[in-house]
Amino acid sequence: MLNISKNSIDPYIKKDRYSVFEKLEQRSISKALIRIMIFVLVIGIISMFLPWTQNIRTLGYVTTLNPDDRPQAIQSLIDGRLEKWVVREGDVVAIGDTILILTESKEEYLDPQLLAQTKGQIDAKKASSVNYQEKANTLDEQYKATVMNRDQKLELNDIKLKQLYIKVKTDSIDLAAAKVKMENSRKQMNRTIELEKKGIKSTTDVEIKTFSFREAEAKVNELENKLLNNQNDITAIKTNVAFIKSDFAQKLAKINSEKMSALSMKNTTNSEVYKLESSYNKFEARTNAYVITSPINGTITYAIKSGLGEYIKAGEDLVTIVPTVYKKAVESYIRPRDIPLLKKGQKVRIQFDGWPAIVFSGWPNNSFGTFAGRIYAIDNDISPTKDGKYRILVVEDEEEKWPEEVRVGSGSNSLILLNEVSVYYEIWRQLNGFPPDYYDNETSKQVKTKAPIRKIK
């Protein structure tokens, strides 16, 4: 029966007497199963020629299109102590609404009259600056008066000098006349002496002529002395001009120095005023910083600092706020090999986490629960945090709005639609590791080649 021996015993066995031989003769595969397998094979072959939409699948998450619409933390500008919470987590706030109130924690700012005292110092310094300016103005007037006084003295000195020149001239004429008269008196005296020796003139006549000569000589000496004095006065007055100029130059220099000192003190005071005003503005800004307000319209989501009386540092996060109105976008990451296939405005089908969906990868139009989007932006640089992939931003299609229930931060599964090909072509492409074909939004024409290539427009 096992056909081990060359001598067969089949002729000696009556197989009809044993049912087991009948069961061995029956086929192991039924005709119905064969029909089913043939039907499946035909359907599989036909399905190879069905259209298939090539796509790039990528995971991502929901974010906002504008950076200022994303969840953000609110910080304090100053160090302080948490005094009071005005809002609670989940409250909706508008721009300028108070969130919490701080109190001062630094010793140098604890003075309750700090602003008033600083303002008083500013006013005092400003008044001092005005006084210095008035002093400079007074010195200006004094400078002008001194210059006028100098000019008057020089003019008066010049008049005296002219008068002395006239006197010298007059004295010179008088001296010349006196010398002539003295010479005549000398001659008369000599003639009288000679006549007196001859007995013609008396001794009295000689004495009279001698006296006349002595008077004339005295007059000449007087006029010479007067002339010399006038000449000395001229020299003195000329010297006095230099003295006047030097004396007034010193006075003017002193006045100018005092004026420069006054202006310097004014500038120094103004500098102190600016410093005090800067300090006042800082104090005022610090006072205003005690009240933390909302920079946007949003919802309070998480209080990072919660304990009353807790000390906080400048720049430390206090609370997280989410904008009330924002434009959603999906942030996804694409492999570098797929980037040449993408462009702005390209169609995308998106499945959101938590949203029921039935997705047919090759037939996105027949999928349920996916939403339309378009590529808004493509980064030009590889993201350093996503394993060398490029980031893209997808926004909702204007004709098909995304659900309001989708929140920022939820996950997403995106299908970036490319070219439409046959199923057999897609299987062949996947087995060979070729990239998808380029999809042209304008013509929507397939690139028909023996081997798939990227169409560069």
Whether residue 274 is found in the same domain as residue 299: no
Domain contains 28: no
CB 414 within 8 A of CB 55: no
- Give the Cα separation of 392 and 368 in Å (integer): 24
- Give the Cα separation of 97 and 294 in Å (integer): 5
Given a cut of 80, whether residue 357 has pLDDT beyond it is no
Whether residue 130 is found in the same domain as residue 265: yes
Coil, helix or strand at residue 14:
coil
pLDDT (average), residues 168-188: 83
Domain contains 38: no
Distance of CA 137 to the CA centre of its chain: 41
Given a cut of 80, whether residue 364 has pLDDT beyond it is no
Domain contains 359: yes
Beta strands in 32-173 (DSSP E): 51-64, 72-75, 80-85, 92-93, 98-103
Domain contains 82: yes
DSSP 50: S
Structural domain range at position 294 = 72-104+290-322
| pLDDT bracket for residue 134 (50, 70, 90) | very high
| Angle, helix 203-288 to helix 114-198, in steps of 10 degrees | 170
The pTM assigned to this predicted structure is 0.52
Whether residue 302 is found in the same domain as residue 236: no
Question: If residue 379 lies in a helix (H) or strand (E), which one and from where to where?
Answer: strand 371-382
Whether residue 244 is found in the same domain as residue 342: no
Whether residue 163 is found in the same domain as residue 279: yes
| pLDDT bracket for residue 20 (50, 70, 90) | low
CB-neighbour burial class of residue 192 (10 A; exposed 0-12, middle 13-18, buried 19+)? buried
Given a cut of 50, whether residue 449 has pLDDT beyond it is no
- Give the Cα separation of 418 and 47 in Å (integer): 20
**pLDDT value for 434:** 63
Domain contains 1: no
- Give the Cα separation of 382 and 111 in Å (integer): 54
> Number of C-alpha atoms within 13 angstroms, CB side, residue 24?
7
Domain contains 332: yes
CB 375 within 8 A of CB 392: yes
**pLDDT value for 137:** 92
Whether residue 384 is found in the same domain as residue 417: yes
Whether residue 257 is found in the same domain as residue 306: no
Whether residue 136 is found in the same domain as residue 283: yes
Q: What is the helix, strand, coil percentage profile of the chain, to 5?
A: 50, 20, 30
Domain contains 409: yes
CB 102 within 8 A of CB 290: yes
CATH number of the domain to which 188 belongs: 1.10.287
> Number of C-alpha atoms within 13 angstroms, CB side, residue 174?
18
DSSP β-bridge partners for residue 414: 58, 350
Q: Which of 25-29, 190-194, 290-294, 399-403 has the lowest mean pLDDT?
A: 25-29
**pLDDT value for 451:** 36
Cβ within 8 Å of residue 411, ≥6 positions away: 59, 60, 61, 62, 352, 353
Q: Token digits for 292?
A: 């933390």
- Tell which of 322, 344, 373 closes a domain: 322
- Give the Cα separation of 320 and 296 in Å (integer): 12
- Average pLDDT, rounded, for the chain: 79
CB 244 within 8 A of CB 153: yes
Whether residue 351 is found in the same domain as residue 250: no
Domain contains 10: no
CATH number of the domain to which 355 belongs: 2.40.30.170
Give the largest Cα separation in the chain, rounded. Answer: 234
- Give the Cα separation of 433 and 417 in Å (integer): 18
Q: Could you give the number of structural domains in the chain? A: 3
Q: What is the CA radius of gyration of the chain?
A: 61
Coil, helix or strand at residue 241:
helix
Distance of CA 417 to the CA centre of its chain: 44
Residue 380: count of CB within 10 angstroms of its CB: 7
**pLDDT value for 301:** 86
**pLDDT value for 138:** 92
Nearest residue to 364 via CA among 283, 299, 296, 419: 419
Given a cut of 70, whether residue 293 has pLDDT beyond it is yes
Whether residue 396 is found in the same domain as residue 262: no
Distances (CA, A) of 434 to 52, 156, 346, 431, 454: 16, 113, 21, 8, 10
CB 196 within 8 A of CB 205: yes
Whether residue 79 is found in the same domain as residue 94: yes
Whether residue 267 is found in the same domain as residue 123: yes
Given a cut of 80, whether residue 12 has pLDDT beyond it is no
| pLDDT bracket for residue 418 (50, 70, 90) | low
- Tell which of 322, 343, 367 closes a domain: 322
